A and B are shown apart, each in its own frame.
Chain A
Amino acid sequence: MSVHDAIPMPEQRGGLSLRKRRLIIHASIFLGLIALWEICSRLGWLDPLFYPRPSSILHSFWLIYFQNANVWYHLYTTMVLVLAGFIGGSILGIGLGALVGFNAVIRRFLKPYVIVLEATPRIAVAPLLIAALGFGASSKIAIIVLVCFFAPFINTLSGVVNVNEERLELFRSLGASKMQTLRKLVLPDAVPVIMAGERLALTAALSGALVAEFIQRDKGIGSLILVYSRNLNMASAFACIFTLTILGFLIFRGMEWLDHRIAYWKNEAGMERVAAKRAAQMGDLNV
């Protein structure tokens, strides 16, 4: 090795850029880990019955998606539940949050209950709801609504309560009505916080659906994972888990996109888009 190689060259134009080099390191670490896993398994150091080989997980992917194609139905079932519960929980959470936020008396009397509710693992109510509402979609949706309503509720509440005093004073000095203050100040101001709550809610909804399916053991991706693990078909169980990873990633990105659209003034691209729209709406403003 020559001396020149030891000198760091961050401005290097030809050859590999820093980014490409990092990408290669990332890939080699990842592939190295996979290979290590596969080798350990083949050498008998990892019991493939419990710790499936990467190759068999890949094979299971092919099985559950294409050969048997059984995962689609369960995935669809779970998604429908998650969406229904998420929408229900959001409406309930945001609605209650706004109601409580605007009413100081309700807020005061509700506070101890909120503290208690916050400390309770809400998912724990799952068996109770199933017992009360019976097996089937309704109890599952009820569970999801319950686990995901809390984040939007708390966030809406705090967004509505923490309105900037100076802005409120401005609206008062303009003689704005209560309704105008609500529509033009309080709600838009709370939007970013509410959206943050919604992100948490969607993640919680997915977890809630899984727990409901673990308990009911009838259909959905949660039941599928449970059945595969019980039968020690761990490769397929892992294929399902990685499916959820991809789903989780899509949800994360989807919510991020939605957040950028709705709370447009928090990012450059959004501001540019809305500014252009407003300029077009108002047209020529020269006198």
Chain B
Amino acid sequence: MNVMASQPSKTDSVVGAQGLGKTFGGGAVVALEDASFDIRPGSFVSLVGPSGCGKSTLLRLIAGLIERTSGNLQVHGKEVTDPRTDVGMMFQKATLLDWRTAVENVLLPTEVSRAVTKEDQKNAAELLRMVGLKDFLFAFPSQLSGGMQQRVALARLLQTGADVLLLDEPFGALDEFTRERLNVELMRIVKEVQATTLFVTHNIAEAIFLADQVFVMTPRPGRIAKIVDVPFDRPRPLSIQTSPEFNTLVAEVRDILGEDH
């Protein structure tokens, strides 16, 4: 292992990457190239960029779902090889199990690692209350709206107890109002549980609004074109989006992305 590259990860980075790359089809498709970054504990990182720029690929690499083809990647200073319990992932679709009630869906991660206790059940119920579903503990997925299903998926993600949360366009399929409300809640919740969060979105304003750092990515080949720091404190009010500083950041990101956005 490259000693110099892994050095910073030992100190203050939760997720660290050095020259990370992923190709598909024996090198025919470069999904991600030469990504290097260090993510501080408890920080919120947004990944923004056009379709095909490797956002999902980066997340799936960190989750240990796919193997990298070059470079290094550590979570909590340990090389990523397999899916692990300190990293949790949430997808664009809720991917709930139809035959389980909301609580049982939230309990799935616990069930997979050990026997479920009364405490776990209470914790799951508490998480569902936290995402605003206290009256739907025993509802089945088909009885919930899209937004509610996504909240259950969020509760399930939190139930994993992971302190690195990966969210791949989690609210992308929802309407504008629901999405905005869920974004505000998400910001509050991840602050509360002190998780390090990577959040994928197509929306520049959303990316900036939520994050401490924005990874601006460009396609063909997929790479991180720039890491933009967002200087506001979290959580923030929605009204910050109309401030001039905010709009300068939006313009900056849009500039990097070029005519695609």
A residues at B contact (CB < 8 Å): 164, 166-167, 169-176, 180, 184-185, 188-189, 191, 264-265, 271, 274-276, 278-279, 282, 285-287
Q: How many Å from the CB of B91 to the closest CB on chain A?
A: 6
Question: Which residues from A are CB-within-8-Å of B104?
Answer: 278
Of residues A172, A174, A188, which shows the largest number of chain B Cβ atoms within 10 Å of its Cβ? A174
- Taken together as a complex, chains A and B put the C-alpha atoms of A271 and B93 apart, in Å, by 22
Total number of residue pairs linking A and B with CB closer than 8 Å: 80
The 10 closest A-B pairs by CB, nearest first: A285-B125, A275-B138, A173-B89, A265-B99, A176-B112, A175-B83, A166-B95, A271-B140, A174-B112, A188-B99
Nearest B residue to A176, CB-CB:
B112
Question: Which residues from B are CB-within-8-Å of A264?
Answer: 99
Cross-chain contact A185 with B97 (CB below 8 angstroms):
yes
Question: Which residues from A are CB-within-8-Å of B108?
Answer: 174, 184
B193 within 8 A of A: no
Q: How many Å from the CB of A136 to the closest CB on chain B?
A: 43
Cross-chain contact A275 with B112 (CB below 8 angstroms):
no
Cross-chain contact B83 with A172 (CB below 8 angstroms):
yes
B101 within 8 A of A: yes
Q: Interface size for chain B: under 10, 10 to 19, 20 to 34, or 35 or more residues?
A: 35 or more
Residue of B98, B113, B139, B142 near A175 (CB, 8 A) is B113
Q: A172-B83, A175-B113 are in contact. Are A188 and B160 (CB under 8 A)?
A: no
Q: How many Å from the CB of B130 to the closest CB on chain A?
A: 11
Q: Assuming A171-B112, A191-B99, what are 18 further A-B pairs, CB within 8 angstroms? A: A166-B93, A169-B95, A170-B91, A170-B95, A173-B83, A173-B87, A174-B83, A174-B109, A175-B84, A271-B142, A275-B101, A275-B140, A278-B101, A278-B104, A278-B138, A282-B121, A285-B124, A286-B125
Cross-chain contact A285 with B137 (CB below 8 angstroms):
yes
- Taken together as a complex, chains A and B put the C-alpha atoms of A274 and B143 apart, in Å, by 13
Cross-chain contact A271 with B83 (CB below 8 angstroms):
no
Q: Which residues of chain B from 80 to 127 have any CB-CB distance to chain A below 8 Å in the complex?
A: 82-85, 87-89, 91, 93, 95, 97-99, 101, 103-104, 108-109, 111-113, 121-122, 124-126
Q: How many Å from the CB of B65 to the closest CB on chain A?
A: 6
- Binary per-residue interface labels of chain B (58-70) against chain A in the complex, 1 for a CB within 8 Å, 0 otherwise: 0000011100000
Q: A188-B97, A271-B140 are in contact. Are A282 and B103 (CB under 8 A)?
A: yes
Secondary structure of the A side of the interface?
A: helix
Residue of A167, A180, A274 near B95 (CB, 8 A) is A167
Q: How many Å from the CB of B223 to the closest CB on chain A?
A: 24
- Taken together as a complex, chains A and B put the C-alpha atoms of A174 and B93 apart, in Å, by 16
- Taken together as a complex, chains A and B put the C-alpha atoms of A180 and B84 apart, in Å, by 16
Q: How many Å from the CB of B166 to the closest CB on chain A?
A: 8
Question: Which residues from A are CB-within-8-Å of B125?
Answer: 285-287
Question: Which residues from B are CB-within-8-Å of A184?
Answer: 97, 108, 111-112
- Taken together as a complex, chains A and B put the C-alpha atoms of A189 and B93 apart, in Å, by 17
Cross-chain contact B95 with A173 (CB below 8 angstroms):
no
Nearest A residue to B116, CB-CB:
A282
Nearest B residue to A285, CB-CB:
B125
Cross-chain contact A287 with B126 (CB below 8 angstroms):
yes
- Taken together as a complex, chains A and B put the C-alpha atoms of A275 and B7 apart, in Å, by 52
Q: How many Å from the CB of A73 to the closest CB on chain B?
A: 43
Of residues A167, A173, A185, A264, which shows the largest number of chain B Cβ atoms within 10 Å of its Cβ? A173
- Taken together as a complex, chains A and B put the C-alpha atoms of A188 and B100 apart, in Å, by 10
Q: How many Å from the CB of B208 to the closest CB on chain A?
A: 27
Cross-chain contact A278 with B103 (CB below 8 angstroms):
yes
